[in-house]
Structure 1
Amino acid sequence: MDLRKSIRVIENFPKEGISFKDISTLIADGEALREAVNQMAKNLKDKNIDVVLGPEARGFIFGVPVAYALGVGFIPVRKPGKLPGETISVDYALEYGTDSLQIHKDAIKKGQRVAIVDDLLATGGTIEAVTKLVEMAGGEVVALDFAIELTELHGRDKLKGYEVNSLVKYDL
């Protein structure tokens, strides 16, 4: 199945010159969603993954069913103030300013093999921060899996040393 056909492209959104890749059409199509999840799970099935981790909110959309398909748990990565227990956090740079991401301090056990799943790899800044969280918690990042990759933004450059997989690649 060509998943690209299930992704709607909206020009000039959210601002002029941006070509937005909309996954809402992919996840609304049961066959396409199943194919995307199956492809991600197939890539991860022989990697002895202990847990899947995904950043809010779209990382939850793909991460939870991938974790289910692998028979492992899912760990949510959230913005500050969203998790009720004790957390660890990492700050990361945005185009203008900084942001922060958190996980529960006890979410990852030392040495656990972690797959990070998200909808989109663009500049790589968010996922770079997520890899730092995993490593701060004592986990080992085994693979990074994305539904979409925007290749011209060179997000992979920030993720050298990690296995990076994407289902659909777009040049901007």
Structure 2
Amino acid sequence: MPAFAELIRAVPDFPKPGVLFRDVTPLLADARGFAECIAALAAPWRDAGVQAVCGIEARGFIFGAALAQALAAGFVPLRKPGKLPPPVLAVDYRLEYGSDRIEARSDALKPGERVLLADDVLATGGTLAAAQALVARFGAELVGASVVIELAALRGRERWTNGQPLHALLRY
């Protein structure tokens, strides 16, 4: 296990009883640990020709922007509805108890642009699958995804359908 893993705090019964929340804020506050984490996120993609990193709201913005810098790529925030001025492209997706939407500026990606998705946690996989679909709507080329944490018991990886690499630094 990488040294930075010790900086991720396990918080029982948050946000509700029975949930073990993985808190990345101590990792973000530690300059050395955060740098190690970003280097590990970037490592599989150094020779992939990534042109843009799309970070998923909200903690994916932090990891995605730093990852974009490490890869000398642009950064595109994928936002919840109503956070970006129009025009936007959007994808609706189902959650366990309802639905949501993810959006990007309509000019955020170009057809054929090589894109990497980034987020902090892969849980049930719905948001990452929606981000995958949104990148496809632009006609961009998805090279894969990187997440800091994969909650393996929630089987989110099963929703990753394009056959591209999905890189998780830590699995719980």
**1:80 Cα shift?**
1.2
**What secondary structure sits across from 1:80 in the alignment?**
coil
Letter in 1 for 2:68: A
**1:12 Cα shift?**
0.7
Counterpart position of 1:3: 4
Deviation readout 1:45-96 (Å, 9 max, x if unpaired): 1111111001111001100011011111000001111111310101000111
CA–CA separation in structure 2 for the residues paired with 1:95 and 1:101: 16
Structure 1 alignment gaps of length 5 or more: none
What RMSD over aligned residues (CA atoms) do the two structures have, in Å? 0.9
Counterpart position of 1:97: 98
**What secondary structure sits across from 2:37 in the alignment?**
helix
TM-score normalised by L of structure 2? 0.96
Counterpart position of 2:110: 109
Letter in 1 for 2:113: Q
Identity of aligned residues (%): 44
CA–CA separation in structure 1 for the residues paired with 2:47 and 2:154: 30
CA–CA separation in structure 2 for the residues paired with 1:34 and 1:143: 21
CA–CA separation in structure 1 for the residues paired with 2:121 and 2:53: 16
Answer yes or no: is 1:137 the counterpart of 2:127: no
**1:143 Cα shift?**
1.2
Letter in 2 for 1:46: D
**What secondary structure sits across from 1:5 in the alignment?**
helix
Answer yes or no: is 1:163 the counterpart of 2:165: yes
CA–CA separation in structure 1 for the residues paired with 2:67 and 2:92: 27
Is the Cα contact below 8 Å between 1:3 and 1:168 reproduced in 2?
Answer: no
Is the Cα contact below 8 Å between 1:86 and 1:104 reproduced in 2?
Answer: yes
Size of the alignment, in residue pairs? 170
Counterpart position of 2:62: 61
Counterpart position of 1:73: 74
**1:2 Cα shift?**
2.2
CA–CA separation in structure 2 for the residues paired with 1:100 and 1:94: 10
**1:34 Cα shift?**
0.3
